[in-house]
Structure 1
Amino acid sequence: MRLSTRNQLDGTVASITLGEAMAVVKIRLGGGDVVTSSITRDAVEDLGLAEGSSVKVLIKSTEVALGIE
């Protein structure tokens, strides 16, 4: 599948925390950084996600905020 989303990162599911309707999925990227995604519990089940699953992180945003100390 080809997508228009330009920010595509390969990762591995590090953990999944299931709630009643939503799930928090933490994905470890190649450099060791972790990205967190909130998706529906149904989506976790439909995609067959589990710890260790290989995934493609797709980031489509109208705003990217930066901060410094």
Structure 2
Amino acid sequence: MKLSTRNQLDGVVTKVTCGEAMAVVRIRLNGGDEITSSITRDAVEDLGLADGKAVKVLIKSTEVSLGVE
């Protein structure tokens, strides 16, 4: 599958926390950094996400915000 999203990072799921409608998926990227994604619970089930599953993280955003004190 070809995608227009240019920010594609390989990783492995380390934790899936499901709520009623949404889930938080924690991914360890190649290189050791971690990232989280909030997706629907249905998407977790459709993709078969579980600890140890290899995934490709796709990041497409028009804005990235940071804050410090």
Cα distance per residue 1:11-67 (max 9 Å; x no partner): 000100010000000000011111100000000000011100000000000012345
User: Which letter does structure 2 place at the counterpart of 1:15?
Assistant: K
> So what's the TM-score if we normalise by structure 2?
0.93
Aligned positions, number: 69
Work out the CA distance in 1 between the residues paired with 2:3 and 2:32: 25
- Percent same amino acid among aligned pairs? 78
Give the structure-1-normalised TM-score: 0.93
* Match in the other structure for 1:38: 38
Question: Which structure 2 residue ranges, 5 or more long, are not aligned?
Answer: none
